[in-house]
Chains A and B, each alone.
Chain A
Amino acid sequence: MSDNTAQPLLRVRDLVVEIPTRRGLLRPVNGVSFDVERGEILGVVGESGAGKSITGAAIIGLLDSPSRIASGEVWLDGERIDNLDNEGLRKVRGRQIGTIFQDPLTSLNPLLPIGDQLAETAMVHLSISRAEARERALAALVEVGIPAAAQRIDAYAHEFSGGMRQRVVIALALIAEPRFVIADEPTTALDVSVQAQILSLLRSLCVKRNTGVMLITHDMGVIAETTDRVAVLYAGRLAEIGPTRDVVESPGHPYSRGLMAATPSPSELADKDLRLNQIPGSMPGLLDVPAGCAFHPRCEFVKDRCRNAVPTSYPSGNSHSACFLHDAEALS
């Protein structure tokens, strides 16, 4: 394992995030493990409260107090990053991990021309001269498809439209040539016709640079079109992880199965009298996660075992599912 190239780019093992509150200890992320390879886009999908954004925040060390990583490990390129101090984390963020958030205005400084902000980031992380950094900033803006980039390099964030702003954020996230990018709902605030452009752009840039991407979203359509592999989260646990096509077409976990069936798709030959498949109930709040498999109260295949024991990950086709349905020993 000492060979760097044999290791995955990002390696998350048994990550647990805890929030102490007066009503008890919450675990928004509860034992999540996954890898992201170089040049791969891993989709992280789940409904609100599943823990997908907190997983992303934990990896880059941006958890809001009082949440904290209680246990588990995060490795980036063979280097452990979950136990770094603030100074170390700051170096990792930006230089090695780029971030793209839902609201572009959280990443862009409203008082700084976008060119200056890009150049600043390049200078700090790549130790290059100001002139060189400005050149890079311009190249980055051209690359993300800002029209007339040379004229707009000194414009401020508020002078751009929503889609253009998100393009600038992508340029900012990639300018220090990070090895890994976390994109948290990057297109949720955008119109459908703009969303498609931004996702295509993100994917082509990352494939070209061999950057690993963790794309957090609630939209199964976005997952299917954009990602290589997908992790389905439910109540802070990994329900299923595997190649996107396998998970979408033949999901192994009953929750992913329900999620796919509940997702309306414009391409489907839907009859108006055909009902959408629905999962009864809703995801439990963090205060009342049921014992055993968190999904068991909503599951149609529930057995006694599911109420008592938490399933570990079992192979299911090309994927892995945390469901006793795939426990080969119990079946035989």
Chain B
Amino acid sequence: MNSQSTSSEAQAEAAAPKGFLRRAWESDIAWSFRHSPVAIVSAVVFLVLVLGAVFAPLLAPYNPFDPSTLNLMDGFTVPMGQGLGSGELYWLGTDDQGRDIFSTILYGLRISLFIGLMAVLFAAVLGVTLGLIAGYFGGWIEAVIMRVADVQITFPSILIAMLIFGIARGLTPPELRDQMAIWVLIVSIGLSDWVYFARTVRSSTIVEAQKEYVHAARLIGRKPGAILRKHLLPNVMGPVLVIATIYLALAIIAEATLSFLGVGAPPTKPSLGTLIRIGQDYLFSGEWWILLFPSLTLLALALSVNLLGDWLRDVLNPKLR
């Protein structure tokens, strides 16, 4: 006994518990990030876009939603051109009402990102909860949850989102519609994507629940709720993070699609999709910048999130490579 305890003490000293930052820096994920140019570039682009959205009120030269600052004479200013009315410089030009495109993009980004993040959060919370319950309890509970998921997955998610959006709009009083539109969008996109979270979480839960540490917790009488939260949840979150990133890109695009179709964010609170719809009207009359810059921003946002998701999937699941 003596020799063993001394040897394990020596080992303990050699590898004293490390601080969190240090462990994070030395982790495989951090190492792989430092060695992946694609991941670094995507992360930088995504970070710039997020910061732009978060600090839009500080960064934007104009407030595009304050009609008093608009000068109709500045309408259709070309990029890097000076407004006819005010003589001010607009980097990305203006739209028909003289709104600064750069500022509307920053504010639109804010709405697009907010809707995307909240929709994914909603889908993830719903999907993870239902997936954990289905995987752990099995039986008829699992059958009900997974059959609903199976049925839903056979419909394209944009159709489901439109359906839910339509129903919700019908149920809200007209005077609240514009106000509620964003939340309705979040719920309809989230409801169309929870299935993917639920399916993955259910299968990882089934695998994890077979493991002996779960048996050990059950045999001392831990309640199912505690086992789900404390034991299973942390161990099924890896794949959830990957799906969340991939569906963030898809949710942003879904929001843009709905807004482009005119059923999404209202023109009073335009998202990138709304801006693209508006810009489309001017494409053939020569004012290309109203369409181009919001589209490029959407592309950069969706692409950077998607590439980050791909990288994350490769890191967390080396077998897929």
Question: A–B direct touch, CB within 8 Å, in complex?
Answer: yes
Residues on B with beta carbons closer than 8 Å to the beta carbon of A297: 7
Asked if A280 and B7 sit within 8 Å, CB to CB, the answer is yes
- A272 at the A/B interface (Cβ < 8 Å)? no
Contact with A along B275-293 (1 / 0, CB 8 A): 0000000000000000000
Write the nearest CB–CB distance from A280 to chain B, whole angstroms.
4
Residues on A with beta carbons closer than 8 Å to the beta carbon of B7: 280-281, 297
Write the nearest CB–CB distance from A186 to chain B, whole angstroms.
26
Give Cα A280–Cα B31 distance, bound, in whole angstroms: 34
Give Cα A280–Cα B5 distance, bound, in whole angstroms: 9
Residues on B with beta carbons closer than 8 Å to the beta carbon of A281: 4, 7
Give Cα A157–Cα B191 distance, bound, in whole angstroms: 45
Write the nearest CB–CB distance from B65 to chain A, whole angstroms.
50
> Chain A's interface: helix, strand, loop or mixed, by majority?
loop
How many of A's residues come within 8 Å of B, CB to CB? 4
Residues on B with beta carbons closer than 8 Å to the beta carbon of A208: none
Asked if B3 and A22 sit within 8 Å, CB to CB, the answer is no
Residue of B nearest to A278 (CB): B4
Contact with B along A89-100 (1 / 0, CB 8 A): 000000000000
Contact with A along B1-35 (1 / 0, CB 8 A): 00110010000000000000000000000010000
Segment 279-307 of A: residues with Cβ below 8 Å from B: 280-281, 297
Contact with B along A10-27 (1 / 0, CB 8 A): 000000000000100000
Residue of A nearest to B7 (CB): A281
Asked if A22 and B4 sit within 8 Å, CB to CB, the answer is no
Residues on A with beta carbons closer than 8 Å to the beta carbon of B31: 22
Write the nearest CB–CB distance from B318 to chain A, whole angstroms.
12
Give Cα A286–Cα B270 distance, bound, in whole angstroms: 58
Give Cα A281–Cα B9 distance, bound, in whole angstroms: 11
Write the nearest CB–CB distance from B273 to chain A, whole angstroms.
42
Residues on B with beta carbons closer than 8 Å to the beta carbon of A22: 31
Segment 63-77 of A: residues with Cβ below 8 Å from B: none
Contact with A along B181-200 (1 / 0, CB 8 A): 00000000000000000000
Q: Name 7 interchain pairs, CB-CB below 8 A, sorted by A.
A: A22-B31, A280-B3, A280-B4, A280-B7, A281-B4, A281-B7, A297-B7
Point out residues on A near B: beta carbons under 8 Å. 22, 280-281, 297
